[in-house]
A and B are shown apart, each in its own frame.
Chain A
Amino acid sequence: MTDTVRRFAWGAARLAPIIVLLAAWEMFARSGAVTPFMLPALSAVAERIYDDAAGGDLFLNIGVTVYRALAGFAIAAVGGVVLGAAMARNRAARWFFDPVISVGFPMPKIAFLPVIILWLGLYDVSKITMVVLDAIFPVVTATVAGIASVEKELVWTARNMGAKNRELLWQILLPAALPQILTGLQVALPIALIVVVVTEMQMGGYGLGGAMMQASRFANSRGVFAGIVEIAVIGYALVAAMAWLRRRLLAWHQEAQGATGV
């Protein structure tokens, strides 16, 4: 009984600052210290979101943005793990790709957006390609590091029992590297979202980014703030989903250590 009460109290304590923030927002906006343009009231923004939802626009935009982000993320995830595994096991692959990864990682790849648009046009393909370009790097790095750090005794044990190279990769190396690979994926997901939003802002059209940019052009500050709230919620939901997935997949790992943070 006390356990449930405690958990409830804990949850409430964590929500409290957020509620305080929202309340403060509303009060500050109404106070007249800033114009409604600079800071529209929370209630006004909520009204705007409600209107969008009723009109169907909200779900369309969310759907499009999430689709692009997840499509790019999925490609980056699979491609990144494949490339990372190849680099970890094959010396030639590592030699060839290592500088690309190492040099490319800290580059603001968003600078290549105009080039991508030049090559691939103005539709979803370019947006998704940009996401893949940005999100693949942390996945590759995490996979290479994860596989390289597998204890040699695990590899030797598997070989001892007759495992061949391909079996070794799928049955031993990837599962053993999973915690680190998942961390890489957890880094890649927010990146995918940031990039999608930027590409949508640049190229316009449907999507949360495009809608926000539109609102901005019309100096519609409610629309801009509504967009921020919507994207923040989507971002939070996706990251939380990823964290949940991690806990499920690594149940065996969790026993040994405590709960992981963000």
Chain B
Amino acid sequence: MSDPAQIIVEDVSHHYRPAVGREVLALENVSLQVQEREFLALLGPSGCGKSTLLYLIGGFLPIGTGKILVDSKAVAGPGPDRGIVFQNFALFPWKTVRKNVLYGLERQALPRHERETRAQAFIDLVGLTGFEESYPSQLSGGMKQRVAIARTLAFDPRILLMDEPFGALDAQTRSLMQGELLAIWEKTRKTVIFVTHDVHEAVYLAERVAVMTARPGRIKTIVDTRFDKDDPEVHRTRAFVDKVDEVWNLVRDEAVKALEKRPP
């Protein structure tokens, strides 16, 4: 731990103004550090600001108070060093799968041949060989999310920001995708910040889980969740189940608070 963390969030607060009503404090004095190549989950009830925090790190929202450093540089806007994957896939519907994946590559000064090869490699990586010329509207939810992941991986960001990427998928597909994501992460070893409200998913995928409070969001605790993910039966081990319980208890109080705090 002698190197500075790759991502440093320090005392960040964030307000947003909804269309009607007063300003809302979404995040309050959030501080967090993420090491390089780490897989961290942001877990919390709805409305706790976990997505907001992700968007701030990604540079999609302006930073008000506090600071966020990535690789020792302050975040000033979005950029290809922090790739994002959204829950609703955000695929360009008028482009084929191949063109979608190529889009990020075209922004970089790569020769054409290399772009094409890289794009194909990532399409193959996510298991969509043969679907290169399909349009998003022709694909299932799981397939769309794979395209989104391939697209983001293709331009080789050092950091992967994932905003509840499997939230729109059915339970079986979600399960499969989780396994695939872990396989991809192990192969490419990027830093991953994974936002979710699903405790099981967080404990399974991440090495550390940052539990957030209900709005205004703060980091409540960070729990270590390193397990032997290669073990297919890891879900059943005592250690795993206990860990899920532990995290669930931390989250439950916040979930209840979030429920009580419904806007008038």
Contacts and interface: CB of A to CB of B under 8 A. Distances in A.
Interface in B88-115: 88, 90, 92-95, 103-104, 107-108
B129 interface: no
Interface stretch (B74-82, B199-207, B209-217, B236-244): B74-82
A161 B79 CA distance: 6
Nearest to B100: A157
Given A151-B88, A157-B90, A162 B138 contact: no
B72 interface: no
A252 B88 contact: no
Contacts of A161: 80, 103-104, 107, 155
A243 interface: no
A175 B104 CA distance: 17
A151 B136 CA distance: 15
B257 to A, nearest CB: 28
Contacts of A187: none
B84 interface: yes
A173 B135 CA distance: 18
Interface in A144-184: 151, 153-154, 156-163, 172, 175-176, 178
A13 interface: no
B60 A156 contact: yes
Contacts of A172: 92
- The 7 A-B pairs with the shortest beta carbon distances in the complex, nearest first, are A256-B137, A153-B90, A161-B104, A162-B107, A255-B137, A159-B78, A252-B135
A175 B94 contact: yes
Task: Classify chain B's interface size.
Answer: 20 to 34
B58 interface: yes
B88 A162 contact: no
28 contacts: A151-B88, A153-B86, A153-B88, A154-B90, A154-B92, A156-B55, A156-B90, A157-B92, A158-B103, A159-B77, A159-B78, A160-B60, A160-B80, A161-B80, A161-B103, A162-B104, A162-B108, A172-B92, A175-B92, A176-B92, A176-B93, A252-B93, A252-B95, A252-B135, A253-B93, A255-B135, A255-B137, A256-B93
Nearest to B154: A161
Interface of A, helix, strand, loop or mixed by DSSP: helix
B92 A159 contact: no
Max count, chain A CB within 10 A of own CB: residue among B93, B136, B138: B93
Contact of B58 (A160, A163, A256): A160
Contact of A160 (B78, B94, B138): B78
Interface string B234-253: 00000000000000000000
B49 interface: no
Contacts of A153: 86, 88, 90
B44 interface: no
Contacts of A178: 94
B84 A252 contact: no
